[in-house]
């Protein structure tokens, strides 16, 4: 090979290497630009999500996350967080509220609903007659109360619930006061679901009792709640009485007075004996029956 040929070959190879290098740089630049564009697009799409989609996402946050964080992210999120549609259903349970003035916060979120509040669950020992009255100045359909350390009174509960005649669901958990269920039933003729559950840590561990003994919560057998329910709540479809003291007499009265009852939960109600005719009535009438000895593992306040 002549010197001229060698030089031509070297020049050709060098040109090819330079071309490949330039193409590689261009490819990297294009890739980098594309990635940056995608990232910018992702950021833009997150900010520009339709309001209804952003609302759906924010509704999955806890109250504390919304009030303490989400509404401070940007003006659009703050606007959405103040929209009354965000506050139609309020659940204060399982929220880390220890850094909040609970009473003021509860009043604030009720105000944010602007009269559109339909469902609220309050499970704090800060609940009082005045706060309960403030909450029930709305067209509520569902009310959940946890009153392990109540500052509410029997009369306060009745007066508050009397203001919400369209109430369809009432859940009272860990109540340490004797509720006037007859007055509540007459005040809420549309009531379809009642959950009345005693304090989990005081539940009896078994059905072994001495019928002549009184425990720290009163007589072992008492049909007052059952008879009040039977007399005043004829439209009930769902009834949960955890660790109640009703007997077969009370349960029969409920079956007589609540002909639409489909779901009955009497777990830990060991004064009931579901045998014979009573068991037959329940099986014929009730679609979903939870018996006294059934597991309470799915009960959310079991260990409270």
CA 61/CA 18 separation, integer angstroms:
56
Question: Lowest-pLDDT range, 144-153, 184-193, 204-213, 215-224?
Answer: 204-213
The closest of 271, 266, 265 to 208, measured between CA atoms, is 271
DSSP state string for 30-71: HHHHHHHHHHHHHHHHHHT--HHHHHHHHTTS-HHHHHHTGG
Instruction: Choose between 25 and 57: higher pLDDT.
Output: 57
Q: Determine contact, residues 146/120, Cβ cutoff 8 Å.
A: no
Segment 138-157 mean pLDDT: 81
Distance from C-alpha of 207 to C-alpha of 272, rounded to nearest angstrom: 10
The arithmetic mean of pLDDT across residues 22-40, rounded, is 52
Hey, which residues does 289 pair with through a beta bridge? Answer: 264
User: Which pLDDT score is estimated for 2?
Assistant: 53
Q: Are the CB atoms for 258 and 229 separated by under 8 Å?
A: yes
Q: What is the pLDDT of residues 51-94, one digit of tens each?
A: 778 888 888 887 778 888 878 888 888 888 888 888 898 887 65
Choice among 28-42, 112-126, 277-291 with the minimum mean pLDDT: 28-42
Report angle CA 296, 226, 181 to the nearest 5 degrees: 100
Pick the CATH number of 47-86 from 3.40.50, 1.20.58, 3.20.90, 1.20.1280: 1.20.1280
Q: Where in the chain is the domain with CATH 3.80.10.10?
A: 87-290
Confidence of residue 3 (pLDDT cuts 50, 70, 90): very low
Confidence of residue 22 (pLDDT cuts 50, 70, 90): low
Query: How confident is residue 215, by pLDDT bands cut at 50, 70 and 90?
Result: very low
Mind listing the pLDDT tens digit for each residue in 232-291? 999 999 999 998 999 999 999 999 999 999 999 999 999 999 999 999 999 999 999 999
Q: How far is CA 15 from the centre of its chain?
A: 71
CATH class of 87-290: alpha beta
Residues of the chain with CATH 1.20.1280: 47-86
Q: Calculate what percentage of the chain has a pLDDT beyond 90.
A: 36
The yes-or-no verdict on residue 138 having pLDDT over 80 is no
């Amino acid at each position: 090979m002549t010197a001229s040929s060698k030089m031509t070959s070297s020049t050709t190879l060098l040109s090819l290497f330079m071309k490949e290098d330039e193409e590689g740089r261009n490819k990297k630049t294009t890739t980098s630009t594309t990635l940056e564009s995608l990232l910018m697009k992702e950021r833009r799409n997150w900010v520009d999500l339709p309001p209804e989609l952003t609302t759906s996402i924010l509704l999955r946050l806890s109250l504390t996350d919304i009030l303490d964080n989400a509404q401070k992210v940007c003006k659009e999120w703050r606007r959405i967080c103040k929209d009354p549609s965000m506050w139609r259903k309020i659940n204060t349970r399982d929220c880390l509220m220890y850094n909040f003035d609970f009473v003021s916060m509860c009043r604030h979120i009720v105000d944010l609903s602007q009269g559109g509040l339909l469902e609220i669950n309050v499970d704090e020992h800060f609940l009082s007659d005045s706060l309960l009255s403030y909450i029930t100045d709305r067209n509520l359909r569902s009310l959940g109360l946890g009153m392990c350390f109540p500052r509410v009174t029997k009369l306060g509960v009745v007066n508050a619930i009397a203001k919400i005649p369209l109430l369809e669901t009432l859940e009272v958990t860990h109540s340490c006061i004797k509720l006037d269920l007859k007055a509540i039933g007459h005040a809420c003729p549309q009531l379809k679901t009642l959950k009345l559950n005693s304090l989990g840590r005081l539940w009896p561990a078994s059905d072994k009792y001495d019928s002549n003994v009184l425990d720290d919560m009163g007589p072992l057998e008492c049909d007052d709640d059952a008879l009040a329910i039977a007399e005043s709540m004829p439209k009930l479809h769902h009834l949960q009485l955890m660790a109640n003291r009703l007997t077969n007499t009370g349960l029969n009265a409920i079956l007589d007075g609540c002909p639409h009852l489909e779901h009955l939960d009497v777990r830990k109600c060991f004064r009931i004996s579901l045998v014979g005719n009573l068991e037959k009535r329940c099986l014929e009438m009730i679609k979903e029956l939870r018996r006294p000895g059934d597991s309470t593992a799915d009960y959310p306040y079991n260990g409270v």
